[in-house]
Structures are given as structure tokens and as C-alpha cells.
Structure 1
Amino acid sequence: MTDQIESACRQTTQQPGNTLSNHLPPESDHSLHQLRIKLSSTDALPQLTAIGMLIGLLAGGLLILFREIVTGSTSFWLPRGDEHFETLSELSRFIIPVIGSLAIFCLFACTPVKRRSVGILHVVERLQFHKGKMSFSGMMLQFFGAIIALISGFSVGREGPAVHVGATTGSLLGQKLRLPQNTLSILAACGAAAAISASFNTPMAGVIFAMEVVLRQYTLNSFIPVIAAAVMAAVLSQIMYGPDPAFMVPVIPMASLPELGIAAVSACLIGVLAAGFIKLQLWTASKRQKLLINPLFLAGICMGAVGYFLPAVMGIGYDTIELILNGELMSVSFLLTLLAAKLVTTALVTGLGIPGGIIGPSLMMGALSGAAFGHLGDLMLRLPDVSSAFHALLGMVAMMAAVLQAPMAALVTVLELTRNPHIIMPAMFVIVIACLVAGRLTAQGGLIEMQLNAKGYDNRHSLLNQLLSQKGIATIMSRNFDLLNDTDIVPVPVHASLQDALEIMESHSVEVLGVYTSGRRHQVLCGVITRQAIDSFYR
């Protein structure tokens, strides 16, 4: 296909009233020109993989910078680490989130309204409904807004912002090189995989998360570049922080049948909690524009008030997860109190617009609920030598899977975090239960899908558009220039997708388009594409 396309670029036909030329691009543009042609067709896997590796390095470097800024900034008032807000005075725990909310408000005020959407929701929205095009200003808002939120103690995660920054890195590189639009989604997924890989030191989980949650498809042409990006980001992360994952999890023995029964009941309750979290977050977001007080400032007050009484709720919660996983079990009453406060606070502050993620807090909520429910079940059945880490870990994977409705991403995450194959079967067991319960209660899917529905998007009606957006016009364009006859040519760039071509046809009421590639001074005719060819492709 590629050889035919490049040959077509040399077999141009000049039409009356046509601005296209039969000149080839200048020599300095020729290599990039050939790359765009190659990527428009179906046999560009090596080139996409090479670009994916570059994106992995760029995104991984940005996320390491992000993490270092957060760690370095909080070290000024948290000597024990960026999660130990309990070392602050009660007044400081109230004031710092309020000041942080004001700083975030100023940051949002300096950003155009159409660029203020952030997080994983924004990434999925741009990939599914806007051809994978993302903006630099939106990435900067997410980058610095999330830094302020994290160092101010808000109950948000860094993985959502990391996915936004990583995905935008891939998208912007593709736009800068004017690569075919059907590749932008793949490049953005490469950045998202690199983000998760660098955040947790879990490259496999990064790949599955990018495919299941962000890109929402599994194809060879996207899988291989995404894997390459995740590996390169993991290499950078290990150079900086070593080979250990985000959590040091002790060795967990095989579970007994009674423990699996406790885990099943716990998974049902976690599914209910996940559904409640989703609905509360969506309800808060729906009321945001109707508040008399600025929602960001209100979020700061809420976070400060909770932090004043329960400092463990502040931050992502990784320090609390570490304590539970290493057997330092707190009282059941305190675990349940902390769980309720973490769930409600995270739903409120993210719903009010604080630019942070929900993956990290959902893992803490899962660890708290798993440890509490598991301990209660163990006491009722009087089981000896039960590992609290076992129930906490299953709670983490169940909560993450239920909130995002991403079972594979959650399963692979727990496998890479524990590096223990004995956890796979119990994890699969609780994932199935929690996802079914949460999905049944929400009736519309996970948090991201329900947020898209709340914004007026209908994923069912976008499937055909997604299919057409993922294929470049070079895949099916023809070299038969006689189709143009003697009429004026309506042009379409060679890097456009089939969806772009269809939209141009409808806007100009034509059945045939001339496909061109741009040099510095000339537009070179490469082929033609017809509505009939597009219809045949998707039928």
C-alpha cells in the first residue's frame, strides 16, 4: 500500500481551477513527508513503535519532574514525607487547603474556559469525540493545578493528572509533526501508559489501563507502541527510584475457603460503596455551577475542616495503605470512620473541581474497607492467623475495579504490586463481585462513562465515528484520478482520517475528494477518496 501511495504522489493530474501542483515536497521535507504517508496506511507499526518509545521517555521525564516538585515542595512543612499531614498543627491543616484552593482558583482564572477540563475524563473525551487533539494550555493547568492540590493536602491522587499530562505529551508530539489524525489516539494512549507505568513502577498495568480505560480497544497496531512507551517510562522511573513498586507488600499466603467467603461479602459491600462514591461525585459536580460560593474555595473549606479533625484523610493516602498492608491494623471503628470521611471528602473535592485524580484515594478506600470488613468477618468466624494485608489488598483491587469498571487494569495492577501469583484467583473473585454490584447499582457503568453521559455524550452513537477516526484515508484512497473528471477539486490532507473526509464531503455536498500532502510551497495530489469507498469500508 505504501509503495502505491508514494507512486501516486508522483502521478498528479492538474485540473482547471485546482490549486494542487505536481511538484514534490522539497528535499528537506521529504523524510517527514514519507513518514506521514506511511503512518496514514496500515503497515506503520515499526514507525509507531519508535514514536511510542520517544513519548515514553518524554512523558516519563515529565512525571518524574512532577513527582519531584511535589515531594520537594511538601518537604518544607512535612519533614517525615509528603503524606504525613498529621505532623502539622490543627490550624495549619485547616489553612493550607484553603490557601491552596485560592491558588488553584487564580490558576483557573488565567486559563480560557474551554481549556479548563482536566483529568482522565478529559483524556477519554478528547480521544473518543475530538480525534485525540489535546492542548498545551490544558496540560499546564493540570500539571500545576495538581501540584498545588497535592501539596495542599487535598484528598486527590496523582495518577489522574499524570494520565492527562502523559496523554497530552503524545497528542502534542503528533500534532507538532502533523502526523495522521488516526494516530493521535494511539500516541495519546502511549503517554497515558507511560504515566501509570512511571507512577506505580507497573508497566504492564500502564498498558492495560491505557487500552481498557483510555483507548478502550485492543489492537496490535496500538498494543505494541503502548507497550514500548510503558517500558521506556518504567526504565526512567527505576533509574530514579529503584525497582520497587509503589507499595511494599508482604508475602501473602493462599487463602482458605472461609476467608474467600469473607472476601465475597466484603466485595459486595465495596461494590455498594463504589456506587455511592460515583453517585455522590456526580451529584456534587451537577450542583457546582449553582453554588453561591466559588466551588474551589468551598472545596478548600471542606478539606480544611476534615483535615482539622482527621489528618489521615489528607493527601493520597499511601502512608495509611502502607501501615495496613504491613499489619499495623487500626481499630475497626477508626477504619470505618476514616473510610467514610475519605469517601465523602474525595467525592466532594473532585466534584467541586479540584484538579486531581481518584485512583490513589480509591485504593485507600479499598484498603480501609477490606481491612475493616475482613477483620469483622474474621472475628465472627474466629479464624486463626488471618492476614489483614490479604483483605486490605483485595479491597484495594475491588474498589479500583468497581469505581472505574476496569477489571483487567485492576487485576494487573495488584499482580504487579504484590508480585505474588497466589493473589490472582482471590483478586479475580472479588473483582467480579464488586464490578457486578457497582454496575447494577449505577446502571450506566463506571465513573468515567457516567461523567461522559452527564456531559451529554452518548458512547453508543460514537462507535462508528471512532472506527472512522482510527483509520487514515491513505488506507483506502485510490490512484484513479479520472474520478475527478474536469471539476474543481475539494481537497483533504493525507493525514486526515476517514471521519474527516466524510465531514468534508457532507459540508461541500460532494462524493469525491482529492487527497494531498503539503510541501513548503505546493500541495501535491496523491490520490482520491470517494464516499462509496468509505461506505464499503465500514459496511
Structure 2
Amino acid sequence: MQIFSFKKFLKEQFILLSLSAIVGILSALFIAFFLKLLEAATAYRNSHFQLLFLLPIAGWVIYLSYQYLGKNSSKGNNLIIKEAKGNQESVPAVMLPLVLFGTVITHLFGGSAGREGTAVQIGGTVAAKISEWCKLNQQLRSILLICGIGAGFSAVFGTPLTGFVFSLEVLVIGKMEYKAAPYSLIASLIANYFCLQLGIHHTKYFITSSIPMNGEWISIALKVGIASIGFGLAGYLFSYFIELFKKIYSKILPKAWMIPIFGGIIIIILGQWLVGKDYLGLGVDPNYPGAASIVGAFHAGGSFTWSWFWKLLFTTITLSAGFKGGEVTPLFFIGAALGNTLATLFNIPIDLLAGVGFIAVFAAATNTPLACTMMGIELFGAANLPFFAIGCFVAYYCSGHSGIYTSQNIGIAKNSFLQIRNNKLLSQHLSQKELFYHKKWTLVKNKYL
């Protein structure tokens, strides 16, 4: 039986509290630099749309850099999540510069991607390297990596409490990693503070609609719940399309280096001739006057009926082809634009349903409904908290056992009807499900076709 040592406990707490603050500070420095570069790249691309024609070459350069320098960096956020759960696979230091400049290059040449993945990998790499330098044991290393996830998310979006909750919720579906709670909170708060002090300004979103607590409130709550089924399906579709396009690329292209070139060509065709330039890049602000955007989706006419689908298509094609960036900001776009479309159908204030969609599709694709509900409060205020919670949790349940982070463990199945072994990796579940449906289809084909 181990004897509790108060001296050892105090020493451990001092180490964790100190290092979590350092992770927050260093993450903020790198992420502020990244956001400044990203802002400059976006502005330059929007005034030089001809850069889009160089996207295939940019993708090829990103591929080569990861192939020859990246080691296991190409695993991205899934590597950080695995390490935070206690895996022994090392996070290479080169992940930080590769994902930073890979994301900036992707946006500069018109790829549709986000930024949270980059920020989380920056925070995770910082935490991993500090853990190695300080020779921390596996338990303390795991805690510090969770701090890195929280710090990265907090700094990039200006939502420290969301970053804190996200870091605890994202590792295991249905469970929270409370062991890291106080340290991740410190890292997230410090990262956000230093990012603001370095001159980073985050986009402000507003929901001005106010729903009185009467029969109308109940009616709108029911409508939000129904609309959120659509948000959940959109989150599922996003995850499904990324995996689908990866398989298609691998099947039709004999060499891996051809994939980013082919994906870049598809984006050129869609962006230049078939759909339009609205869906290139981040999509927070319009790429040109009158273009669809996240900010515009909160107002009538600020996005179009199928804007949500086009952003989903552009982003999944981009990311599955090996370009770098995150998924979350495109998920914000998809959710807000889908909310804008459904608001007219359900006769709900546009800004309200756009705001719910903004966070609910994110909740569905990342399996983090609590963090997304918190994001609703931090971004839009607490006045519509019940609608945020309804949207996030309904979308979460309706997305099924899917997600963009396949290294998540299924801690608790989303419903009791599915016989899913607890603690199974999401990637294992998806592979087994695919095999099951393939066998069923083979039986049907052999019998009837």
C-alpha cells in the first residue's frame, strides 16, 4: 500500500501549475504569430484570387515537407489526442512549424480549411516538448498535453472556458478528464490573456433576438430541437465525406503525391468556374462584397440556401487531400449557414438559429456538446443558453458514433440500443461498421443481383 506523501504532493502541484502557465504563455506566442500570418495571407489572397491556380503546387509542397521532414506529424490532432490519453508515441517538435506554415500556405492559395487544428497541434507540441525536457512521468505528461489542447483552443478563438472544457471532453466520448481540470483552466486563461495582449482581435458575433418565456418560447424550443437533427446529420456528413474522399483518392490515384495535386485541381474547378470563390479559405468574413460568410449568415441574405453544403464540400475535399488547417471554423460556417436556411423554413429568428447551428454542427462532428454549449455562452451571451444546450446535445446524439477525431475512445455509447464495447477507439468502431455493411451488401448482391 502506497503511503501518501504531502511533500511529494506539493512538489507535483507546483510543477504542474508552473508548467501549465508556461504552456499557456508559449502557446499564445506561437498562436498569435500564426494568426497574424493567417490574416495577412487571407487579405493577400482576397486581392489576388489568381493564386488559386497555384493550389495544386502548394499542396504538393506541403506533401513533400511532411513526407521528408514530418515523421509522424501527419497524424495531426489525432496524435495529440492519443498522447494526451497516455500513448507512448512521441510528438515531434517539427509538427509545430510544419502545421503552422502548411496552414498558412493552404489559406494563401485558396484551400478551404480552418485554424483550430493548427492551434491545438501548436499547444500540444509545446506541452509535449516541455514534458520531455522536464522528464515528466506519463501521468503528468498526459495532464500537460491536455493543458496544451486547452491553451491552443482558447487562444485561437478567444474562448478560454470553452478551451478548458473542450480539452477535458475531447479525449473520450461521454466522459470528462477531470484529473487535468485545474491545470487546463490555468493554461487556457493565460493563453487567452497573452494572445489578447499581443494584439489579437477575435471576431464578434451577435444574437439580438430575445424570446420571451411563454408559449412562443416552447414552440421555438421544439423547432430548434427538430432543426438540430439536421445539424447532427451535417456533422456526420462532414466526417463521412472526409473519410470517403480519402478512400476515393487512394483508389483512383496510384501515387500519394498525386492526391494534393488532384484535390487542388478540383478546388480550382469548383472555385473558379462551377460554384464561386465564396467558399475558399476560412470563411469568417466575406471573400468579396456580397459573398457568403459566417458573419453574413447571422443576417437575412448573408448566405444562400446551399451555402452550408458547398462549404462542407470544399472543406472535405481540401482536408482529405492533405492540405493543412482545422475543421472547426468550416464547421461554424456550415452550421451558421444551415441555420440561416432552416430559420426561414421554421419561422425562427435567423440570428438565433444561425448561432445554434454555429455551435451544434461543431458539437456533432467533435463529440463535445458541453464545450460547444459553453462556446455559445462565451460568444453570444447566456440569454439563449437553453437553445444552445438543446442544439448541441440533440446534434451530438443524432450524429451517431462518428467524428473528425478518430483517436477518441467511446467511453459511453450514445444510446443503449447499440452494442458497443466501452473504451473502443472510434476508428475501430468505424472500421468494424464499414466491414459489417460491406458483408451485408455482398450477401444482398450475391443473392439478388
Among candidates 74, 96, 102, match of residue 139 of structure 1 = 96
Q: How big is the shift at 1:122? A: 2.1
SS at 1:130 equivalent: coil
Q: Does 1:66 align with 2:34?
A: yes
| Paired residue type of 2:334 | M
Kept in 2, the 8 Å contact 1:159–1:359? The answer is yes
Among candidates 276, 285, 290, match of residue 310 of structure 1 = 276
Residue in structure 2 matched with residue 274 of structure 1 by the alignment: 235
Superposed, which structure 2 residues align to 1:1-40 within 5 Å? 38=8
Q: Could you tell me how far apart the structure 2 residues matched to 1:299 and 1:411 are?
A: 34
For the structure 1 residues 227 and 215, does the alpha-carbon distance in structure 2 shift closer, same or farther, using more than 3 Å as the test?
farther
Kept in 2, the 8 Å contact 1:329–1:388? The answer is no
Q: Does 1:353 align with 2:322?
A: yes
Superposed, which structure 2 residues align to 1:76-155 within 5 Å? 77-78=44-45, 85=46, 87-89=47-49, 92=50, 94-112=52-70, 114-128=71-85, 130-131=87-88, 133-155=90-112
Kept in 2, the 8 Å contact 1:252–1:423? The answer is no
Percent identity over the alignment is 20
SS at 2:306 equivalent: helix
- CA deviations on 1:66-107 (whole Å, 9 max, x unpaired) are 1112223444x34xxxxxx3x545xx1641423321331332
Kept in 2, the 8 Å contact 1:171–1:184? The answer is yes
| Paired residue type of 2:301 | L
Q: Could you tell me how far apart the structure 2 residues matched to 1:436 and 1:3 are?
A: 42
Q: Does 1:366 align with 2:335?
A: yes
CA RMSD of aligned residues (A): 2.8
| Paired residue type of 1:311 | K
Q: Could you tell me how far apart the structure 2 residues matched to 1:93 and 1:144 are?
A: 17
- Unmatched tracts of structure 1, length 5 or more: 7-37, 79-84, 379-385, 463-539
- CA deviations on 1:386-442 (whole Å, 9 max, x unpaired) are 531111001111101111111011111111011x21111011112222122111xxx
Corresponding residue pairs, total: 398
Kept in 2, the 8 Å contact 1:197–1:233? The answer is yes
Q: Does 1:322 align with 2:322?
A: no
- CA deviations on 1:302-346 (whole Å, 9 max, x unpaired) are 222222142111112111111222x2524xxx6233222111221
| Paired residue type of 1:347 | T
Residue in structure 2 matched with residue 285 of structure 1 by the alignment: 246
SS at 2:74 equivalent: coil
Among candidates 406, 412, 423, match of residue 460 of structure 1 = 423
SS at 1:241 equivalent: coil
Kept in 1, the 8 Å contact 2:279–2:310? The answer is yes
Residue in structure 2 matched with residue 56 of structure 1 by the alignment: 24
Residue in structure 1 matched with residue 133 of structure 2 by the alignment: 176
Q: Could you tell me how far apart the structure 1 residues matched to 2:268 and 2:260 are?
A: 12
- Unmatched tracts of structure 2, length 5 or more: 286-292, 411-420, 426-449
TM-score by length of 1: 0.68
For the structure 1 residues 125 and 284, does the alpha-carbon distance in structure 2 shift closer, same or farther, using more than 3 Å as the test?
farther
Kept in 2, the 8 Å contact 1:252–1:422? The answer is no
Kept in 1, the 8 Å contact 2:24–2:188? The answer is yes
TM-score by length of 2: 0.81
Superposed, which structure 2 residues align to 1:463-478 within 5 Å? none
Computing the radius of gyration from Cα coordinates, the structure with the larger value is 1
Kept in 2, the 8 Å contact 1:53–1:232? The answer is yes
Q: Could you tell me how far apart the structure 2 residues matched to 1:188 and 1:278 are?
A: 24
